Amino acid sequence: MRSHYCGALSTINIDETVTLCGWVDRRRDHGGVIFLDLRDRQGIVQVVFDPDTEEHFKRADSVRSEFVLKVTGRVRARSDATVNAAMATGQIEVLGKELEILNAAATPPFQLDEYTNVGEDVRLQYRYMDLRRREMQERLILRSKITSAVRNFLDSEGFLDIETPILTRATPEGARDYLVPSRTHPGQFFALPQSPQLFKQLLMVAGFDRYYQIAKCFRDEDLRADRQPEFTQIDIETAFLDEQEIMAITERMICGLFKTVLDVDLPTFPHMTYAEAMERYGSDKPDLRIPLELVSVDDLMQQVDFKVFRGPADDPAGRVAALKVTGGASISRKDIDDYTKYVSIFGARGLAWIKVNDIAAGVEGLQSPILKFMPDEVVAQMMERLGAADGDIIFFGADRAQVVNEALGALRIKVAEDQGLVADGWAPLWVVDFPMFEEANGGWTPLHHPFTAPSCDAAELVASPGTALSRAYDMVLNGTELGGGSIRIHKRDMQEAVFGILNIDETEAKEKFGFLLNALQYGAPPHGGLAFGLDRLVMLMTGSSSIRDVIAFPKTQSAACVMTNAPGDVGAEQLKELNIRLRQTREEVEKGE
């Protein structure tokens, strides 16, 4: 139908007759001449109809916003006075000769150029309209460029794109499963994959050696913090490569991607241990653009009587840490109160602080409600350790180490954002040497997933699960975990040992993971891989603030689709066929019966 995209026209096309198809972005009537801004995925061009072409002029007069048109006309240069520098095609316009209305449009539910005033629910309900906006088009176009660059890289490195099932058994990644009832096996359910983890491992057992898939994953989580119940991973697995080789190849992939798509040269990724990341940043995904760091002062606080500090300092599971904010002495009491509220979200019971007014004056030059509880020598030693200078503020966390790390780790980011201390650019790193397990409800749970290999042998692992490290690695960029993976367990006895530590007894292990345990005894090669969160990667690369903005049809915070009204009710007949009887209907649940 068309000869050119609207947005692709330029002065090169002057005097050409072109046929365009697109939507009416704007229509203006200027003294007997009609201007139509015609829009397609490449951009907008101005089309002018004058009364010479009577029939088409009349039709142009009748069109409204978002009508779909086919227009034929001649490209001409705009006069100097009418050149529009703000428009990519602003040097030219099309003198319309023929206009066909391919379809009319009802008045749009919201102005496409005033989207910011529209609630997200409305945007999601009319997503096909929202997606017509330039910004959204650009994001999805970039997303497509990203997946294509990733595919090109992986194809060129000998990776094979292999699909894995969506109807499957539970694949534990720490979330709830989405279940699908089986009609042919009454009373039984499939689970949607939380990731292709076990299948990709089995592909290594099968000898495919290098696998990838741009895979949908499903996790039924409480949708805090910008998550989606279904999301996309760039899922990768390899055999016969160790962690250094896997990190190197995927680092090259990400660097190449940034170069191809954004023309950005990423720096070499430093490797940091989990322990160091927690110690210095209170987080296993530190944002290295922020110059602030946590400093432990437990040893000093063991010398004070102040219980709030002394208790955690003496407790092996406790931590007392300081966060010095350069130039932060100007932070007001009200802001400190707000920060105190903020850290309470993470369980901190207060936020002690010291302002440094005149470091040369010793304790006299400091201002703080807690100074009276500390001997002057301790304060002096602390100031020296922190390298405190005039104009600084120092915040403190004292509690269980986990609370201190979470609270000060989050405060570090918040204060840096408020004070304009976040540097521009990209700060990637690898975090390595994670613990195998963390304590939960009196038992152990895996920090990654139960198929991650430890860096010790099975006997050592069983003897001290709490201190064992794993062969896992996470790629972090600007404080966001872009991806993570590990070397896997490839021997049955080790896998059984890990199940044992996780309190999965033999019967349960056989029931749930019998196929994996079996496969491990038929010549499973050493293997490992990782997965990148594609949505998060696209969000960072497009500078978007939510993953919903880089997914064509995302779900709301309550895991629903307001456009299709999913999830929806199911008729009695269909339920019967599935051998399902509802304990309560939706109406009853809503009424709270």
Helices (H), 478-530: 492-501, 506-520
Residue 1 CB, nearest approach to ligand ASP (Å): 43
Q: Which is nearer to ligand ASP, 173 or 315 (CB)?
A: 173
Tokens representing 36 are 């139509």
Q: Which is nearer to ligand ASP, 253 or 356 (CB)?
A: 253
Helices (H), 398-550: 401-418, 458-463, 492-501, 506-520, 534-542
Q: Which of 164, 73, 198, 137 is nearest to 529 (CA)?
A: 198
Q: Which is nearer to ligand ASP, 354 or 530 (CB)?
A: 530
Q: Which of 463, 429, 436 is nearest to 450 (CA)?
A: 436
Residue 219 CB, nearest approach to ligand ASP (Å): 9
Identify the DSSP state of 359: G
Q: Which is nearer to ligand ASP, 419 or 486 (CB)?
A: 486
* Distant-in-sequence, close-in-space partners of 53: CB < 8 Å, separation ≥ 6: 96, 97, 98
Helices (H), 263-345: 274-281, 298-301, 307-314, 333-344
Distance spanning both ends of the chain, measured CA to CA: 58
Burial 325-352 (b: 16+ CB within 10 A, else e): bbebbebeeeeeeebbebbeebebeebb
Residue 69 CB, nearest approach to ligand ASP (Å): 46
Q: What span, in angstroms and rounded, lies between the C-alpha atoms of 178 and 198? A: 17
Work out the angle at residue 296's Cα, subtended by the Cα atoms of residues 291 and 301, and round it to the nearest 5 degrees. Answer: 140
Q: Which of 489, 540, 492, 537 is nearest to 519 (CA)?
A: 492
Tokens representing 439 are 């304590």
Contact between residue 284 and residue 274 where contact means Cβ atoms under 8 Å apart? yes
Residue 500 CB, nearest approach to ligand ASP (Å): 21
Residue 512 CB, nearest approach to ligand ASP (Å): 16
Contact between residue 233 and residue 239 where contact means Cβ atoms under 8 Å apart? no
Tokens representing 151 are 């595919």
Q: Which is nearer to ligand ASP, 193 or 479 (CB)?
A: 193
Q: Which is nearer to ligand ASP, 485 or 554 (CB)?
A: 485
Residue 295 CB, nearest approach to ligand ASP (Å): 32
Contact between residue 299 and residue 459 where contact means Cβ atoms under 8 Å apart? no
Site residues for ligand ASP per CB under 6 A: 173, 195, 197, 484-486, 529-531
Q: Which is nearer to ligand ASP, 223 or 580 (CB)?
A: 223
Residue 95 CB, nearest approach to ligand ASP (Å): 56
Q: Which is nearer to ligand ASP, 282 or 485 (CB)?
A: 485
Residue 223 CB, nearest approach to ligand ASP (Å): 17
Instruction: Give the phi and the psi of residue 368 in degrees, each rounded to 5.
Output: -175, 145
Residue 250 CB, nearest approach to ligand ASP (Å): 11
Residue 351 CB, nearest approach to ligand ASP (Å): 34
Beta bridge partners of 273: 432
Tokens representing 181 are 């009832």
Residue 485 CB, nearest approach to ligand ASP (Å): 4
Q: Which is nearer to ligand ASP, 195 or 542 (CB)?
A: 195
Q: Which is nearer to ligand ASP, 530 or 534 (CB)?
A: 530
Residue 244 parent element (H or E): helix 243-262
Q: What span, in angstroms and rounded, lies between the C-alpha atoms of 519 and 491? A: 9
Q: What span, in angstroms and rounded, lies between the C-alpha atoms of 236 and 201? A: 10
Which residue shows structure tokens 């649940």? 589
Contact between residue 449 and residue 499 where contact means Cβ atoms under 8 Å apart? no
User: Minimal CB distance to ligand ASP: which residue?
Assistant: 195
Residue 284 CB, nearest approach to ligand ASP (Å): 14
Q: Which is nearer to ligand ASP, 75 or 531 (CB)?
A: 531
